[in-house]
Amino acid sequence: MPKKESKTVGVEHTPGKPLTAKQKRELAHLAALPDEQIDTSDIPELPPGAWKNAARGLFYRPVKQAVSLRLDSDIVAWLKKPGRGYQTRANRILREQMLAETRKRA
Protein backbone atom coordinates (compact mmCIF):
# COMPACT_ATOMS: atom_id res chain seq x y z
CA MET A 1 0.00 0.00 0.00
CA PRO A 2 1.62 3.28 -1.09
CA LYS A 3 2.09 5.86 1.60
CA LYS A 4 -0.20 8.88 1.31
CA GLU A 5 1.50 12.19 0.81
CA SER A 6 0.70 14.64 3.54
CA LYS A 7 0.17 18.25 2.72
CA THR A 8 0.66 21.03 5.24
CA VAL A 9 -1.32 24.18 4.72
CA GLY A 10 -0.54 27.31 6.70
CA VAL A 11 -3.30 29.73 7.59
CA GLU A 12 -2.62 33.12 9.04
CA HIS A 13 -5.44 34.85 10.91
CA THR A 14 -5.20 38.59 10.64
CA PRO A 15 -7.96 40.23 12.62
CA GLY A 16 -9.41 43.50 11.36
CA LYS A 17 -9.13 46.83 13.03
CA PRO A 18 -10.17 46.96 16.69
CA LEU A 19 -13.71 48.15 17.33
CA THR A 20 -14.20 51.84 17.91
CA ALA A 21 -15.84 53.13 21.07
CA LYS A 22 -18.99 53.92 19.06
CA GLN A 23 -19.13 50.35 17.64
CA LYS A 24 -18.67 48.91 21.13
CA ARG A 25 -21.56 51.07 22.44
CA GLU A 26 -23.81 49.96 19.54
CA LEU A 27 -23.01 46.28 20.20
CA ALA A 28 -23.67 46.69 23.92
CA HIS A 29 -27.01 48.37 23.11
CA LEU A 30 -28.00 45.49 20.77
CA ALA A 31 -26.95 42.87 23.30
CA ALA A 32 -29.19 44.50 25.92
CA LEU A 33 -32.30 44.45 23.69
CA PRO A 34 -34.87 41.67 24.11
CA ASP A 35 -35.02 39.37 21.05
CA GLU A 36 -38.46 40.57 19.99
CA GLN A 37 -37.18 44.16 19.68
CA ILE A 38 -34.36 43.26 17.26
CA ASP A 39 -35.29 43.92 13.63
CA THR A 40 -34.59 40.76 11.61
CA SER A 41 -36.68 41.75 8.57
CA ASP A 42 -33.59 41.82 6.34
CA ILE A 43 -32.76 38.17 7.11
CA PRO A 44 -34.42 35.79 4.65
CA GLU A 45 -36.61 32.94 5.94
CA LEU A 46 -35.18 29.47 5.47
CA PRO A 47 -37.26 26.95 3.52
CA PRO A 48 -38.79 24.12 5.62
CA GLY A 49 -36.25 21.51 4.44
CA ALA A 50 -33.16 23.66 5.01
CA TRP A 51 -32.03 21.66 8.06
CA LYS A 52 -33.07 18.23 6.73
CA ASN A 53 -29.49 17.02 6.21
CA ALA A 54 -27.85 19.09 8.91
CA ALA A 55 -25.36 17.30 11.15
CA ARG A 56 -24.28 18.59 14.53
CA GLY A 57 -20.58 18.53 15.28
CA LEU A 58 -19.56 17.43 11.78
CA PHE A 59 -16.41 19.58 11.81
CA TYR A 60 -15.69 19.31 15.54
CA ARG A 61 -12.06 18.39 16.10
CA PRO A 62 -11.12 18.34 19.78
CA VAL A 63 -7.59 19.16 20.81
CA LYS A 64 -5.57 15.99 21.29
CA GLN A 65 -3.33 15.50 24.30
CA ALA A 66 -0.51 12.97 24.41
CA VAL A 67 -0.74 10.71 27.46
CA SER A 68 0.97 7.59 28.72
CA LEU A 69 -1.61 4.97 29.61
CA ARG A 70 -1.02 1.49 30.99
CA LEU A 71 -3.45 -1.04 29.51
CA ASP A 72 -3.72 -4.81 29.81
CA SER A 73 -1.87 -6.52 26.95
CA ASP A 74 -4.98 -8.37 25.75
CA ILE A 75 -6.84 -5.04 25.41
CA VAL A 76 -4.00 -3.55 23.36
CA ALA A 77 -3.93 -6.68 21.16
CA TRP A 78 -7.70 -6.42 20.65
CA LEU A 79 -7.45 -2.73 19.72
CA LYS A 80 -4.59 -3.43 17.26
CA LYS A 81 -6.20 -6.52 15.68
CA PRO A 82 -8.17 -4.65 12.93
CA GLY A 83 -5.00 -2.83 11.82
CA ARG A 84 -3.80 0.75 11.94
CA GLY A 85 -5.59 3.29 14.12
CA TYR A 86 -5.74 1.53 17.48
CA GLN A 87 -5.34 4.80 19.37
CA THR A 88 -8.21 6.34 17.40
CA ARG A 89 -10.35 3.28 18.20
CA ALA A 90 -9.50 3.56 21.90
CA ASN A 91 -10.36 7.27 21.83
CA ARG A 92 -13.70 6.57 20.07
CA ILE A 93 -14.62 3.87 22.62
CA LEU A 94 -13.78 6.17 25.53
CA ARG A 95 -15.68 9.10 23.96
CA GLU A 96 -18.79 6.96 23.38
CA GLN A 97 -18.70 5.81 27.00
CA MET A 98 -18.16 9.36 28.27
CA LEU A 99 -21.11 10.66 26.21
CA ALA A 100 -23.35 7.79 27.34
CA GLU A 101 -22.58 8.54 30.99
CA THR A 102 -23.07 12.28 30.44
CA ARG A 103 -26.52 11.63 28.89
CA LYS A 104 -27.52 9.44 31.85
CA ARG A 105 -26.78 12.26 34.31
CA ALA A 106 -28.65 14.88 32.29
Sketch the domain layout of the chain as residue ranges: 70-106
Residues 6+ apart with CB under 8 A from 19: 27
φ, ψ for residue 93, nearest 5 deg: -60, -45
Whether the predicted pLDDT of 54 surpasses 90:
no
Residues 6+ apart with CB under 8 A from 102: none
Q: Lowest-confidence range among 45-54, 72-81, 92-101?
A: 45-54
How far is C-alpha 71 from the chain's CA centre?
A: 28
Residues 6+ apart with CB under 8 A from 89: 79, 82
Q: In the chain, pLDDT over 70 holds for what percent of residues?
A: 87
pLDDT-derived band at 6, boundaries 50, 70, 90: low
How far is C-alpha 83 from the chain's CA centre?
A: 27
Secondary-structure breakdown of the chain: helix, strand, coil percentages, each rounded to the nearest 5: 40, 0, 60
